[in-house]
Structure 1
Amino acid sequence: MIFASLGDFQLGTTSVMTGPTAADETLANDFHEHKVVRGKPVPQKGGEALDRRSFSFFFDESFCSPEAEYTRLVAAKVAGNILPFIPGGGGFLGKHYFIKELKGTTHKTTQSGRIVRISASIQLVEVPGSALSLGGVGIAGAAVALLNPLIKRLR
C-alpha cells in the first residue's frame, strides 16, 4: 500500500520514493478586516483559503535512480502541472494541486560524484474544481474569470 498518489508520483512505494518523512496539511479560512475609527478592526469571514500540503521524503539508489526521479519532480514543477491527490487508503477526494515549491538536497555521492541519496520537500497549493472546469485558461486566468463574470460570458 502507498501513502498517496500525486498524479503519476506515488509517495511511499519501496521502488521509487520513501513514504513521507514529514507530511503537513493546512486548511484555513480567509477573512477581511474592516477598520473602525475607534477600537479594534471588525473581522468578516471571506470564505475558504486554498488548501496547502507539504511533504518531505528521499530518493536512494537502493530502490531507484535518485537523479532521474528528482528530475521528474522538477519537470512537473516547471510545467505547472495540475495533479490529482489521492490518499493511499483510496477514495479520490476531488482535490488537485500544483507544485508551488520544490527543494532538493544531495546527502550522499560516490567518490566519482554520482548521487546516491537526495532528500526532497514539496509544497503543494490546491487548484479548486471551479478553476479546473474553465479548461485551458491557466491558473491566473481562471482566477480572473472566477472574479469577473464578463470573462465567463466571452468564452
Structure 2
Amino acid sequence: MIALHFGTIPMGSNTLTGPSGRSISRTNTFAQYDVTRGKLELHEIGEELDTQSFDFFFSEEFCDPQSELNKLELAFAMKTPFPLLFATGGFIGKRYVVESLEITVQKTNRAGRIVRVEASISLLEAPVASLLGLFSSITRALAPALSRSATKNPNVRQ
C-alpha cells in the first residue's frame, strides 16, 4: 500500500512501511414513508460523512516513533481537521478529524524509549462547504484571542 501523511504525520515513508490496512466507509441516508397501498416510498435524505480507517506503524527505521505518536495524540485531542496526502504528493481532496485512535507499543529499548508502535486510526470527513465558510470558522475561532489581546494592549482603541 502506498504511504500516506495525515497532515504532517507520516503513515509510513514508502510502500514497504506504508499502512498495512485501509478501509473506506460511505453511507447514504433514506427516509421511508408509508403509503396507502403498496410498498413504502423512499426519499433520499443525503450522504453521510465518509470514514477512513488505517492500520499502520511507526518504527525507528524511518521516524522517531515517540515524536510521531505525540503528534497523533495531539491531533486526536485538538480535533483539528487535517488533509490526507499521498507520499507522492497527491491530495485526496478532503480533510479529516481523528474519530478514534488505538495504539499498541510493540517494542521499547533498554532505556524504555519506544522503538516500534502500531496504531489503528479512524478518520471522519470534515467537509468545508465553501471558502467563505472556512474563513468564517477561522475568524470565529480567533475572535476570543483577538478580543483578549485588544484589552491587554493599551495602544489599541476600544
- Same fold? TM cut 0.5: yes
Q: C-alpha separation between the residues in 2 aligned to 1:72 and 1:62? A: 18
Specify every segment of 5 or more residues in structure 1 that has no aligned partner in the other structure, as ranges.
Answer: 139-155
What residue identity is the alignment partner of 1:5? H
SS in 1 for 2:19: coil
What residue identity is the alignment partner of 1:10? P
Q: In structure 1, what is the equivalent of residue 147 of structure 2?
A: none
Q: In structure 2, what is the equivalent of residue 46 of structure 1?
A: 45
Distance 1:133 1:105, change over 3 A: same
Shift of residue 65, structure 1, vs aligned partner = 2.3
Shift of residue 40, structure 1, vs aligned partner = 6.1
Using structure 1 for the length normalisation, give the TM-score.
0.71
Q: Which moved more, 1:17-26 or 1:82-91?
A: 82-91
SS in 2 for 1:63: coil
Backbone CA RMSD of aligned residues: 2.7
Specify every segment of 5 or more residues in structure 2 that has no aligned partner in the other structure, as ranges.
Answer: 142-158
Shift of residue 5, structure 1, vs aligned partner = 2.6
Shift of residue 101, structure 1, vs aligned partner = 0.8
Q: In structure 1, what is the equivalent of residue 123 of structure 2?
A: 124
Shift of residue 43, structure 1, vs aligned partner = 2.8
Q: C-alpha separation between the residues in 2 aligned to 1:3 and 1:111? A: 30
> How many pairs does the alignment contain?
135
Using structure 2 for the length normalisation, give the TM-score.
0.70
Distance 1:52 1:133, change over 3 A: farther
1:57-104 Cα shifts (integer Å, max 9, x gaps):
111223322222111100011011111123345443431111111110
